[in-house]
Copies of this chain bind each other. A is one copy, B any other.
């Protein structure tokens, strides 16, 4: 599945590219770390018309990483992994990616040179473990790390990113321009003072008359004090019509649109 380096937005002729996110790390499954990487990527992908179809959170376990990666990369246009590319014994992602692609993994000269130069400026001694961060599966292209230099990499349709949010975000933003875009999915939100049970029937009817728009309702506030109605679509005109219809709907059942 080759990656098209194509920035055009061809809204009509091309199906939406899809993405899967693979969050790797025992700390996410023990509850020690609250992930924020998924929501960050989800928003950015959505804004480029790339449909995020699923996300998985898995432990630092070789078999699980290899199998899950192989399953996701076969079924999505792009896969983004986070975590496990540091220098310590529990950082096994790069090796697992090499196993999944059945390629060798070795010190990447450019990665090594970047790290040696960075460490030399800071008086840090290279050692075998630090140099592990320069190991890249054969065929992998480096992804810049403007924060702490140790690069991520991309191999075929898989993007291997750091787990630390600031680094992950910088890496992710740097690869975004290389991704194939789809029809942009816009959304509008309408906050109202109704309960879901009051609005469910007319909302269901509205959904039927707007097949190109995805309608959702999300209770919020203390004691579900308000309800947010969300419409999402890649069809701007239909979205605008749906927005107006939602406002009318709220008023038609005695509710009020808030703010």
- Which residues of A are at the interface with B, using a C-beta cutoff of 8 A? 26-36, 38-46, 52-60, 64, 86-90, 124, 127-130, 132-133, 148, 164, 185, 187, 195-197, 199-201, 203-204, 207, 214-219, 224, 230, 232
Contacts and interface: CB of A to CB of B under 8 A. Distances in A.
Contact of A42 (B28, B55, B148): B28
Contact of A31 (B42, B56, B58, B207): B42
Contacts of A55: 28-29, 56-57
Given A38-B57, A204-B129, A148 B224 contact: yes
Select the residue from A39, A45, A214, A230 with max chain B CB neighbours within 10 A: A39
Contacts of A60: 216
Given A54-B56, A54-B57, A56-B56, A90 B217 contact: yes
30 contacts: A28-B39, A28-B42, A29-B54, A29-B55, A30-B43, A31-B38, A31-B39, A31-B43, A31-B45, A32-B187, A32-B230, A33-B39, A33-B218, A35-B38, A56-B56, A56-B57, A86-B219, A88-B200, A88-B204, A88-B216, A88-B217, A89-B200, A89-B203, A89-B204, A90-B217, A124-B195, A124-B197, A129-B197, A130-B197, A130-B200
Contacts of A53: 29, 59
Nearest to A205: B89
A54 B185 CA distance: 29
Q: Which 10 A-B pairs have the closest CB atoms?
A: A31-B42, A129-B200, A31-B43, A130-B197, A55-B57, A89-B204, A87-B200, A29-B52, A34-B39, A88-B200
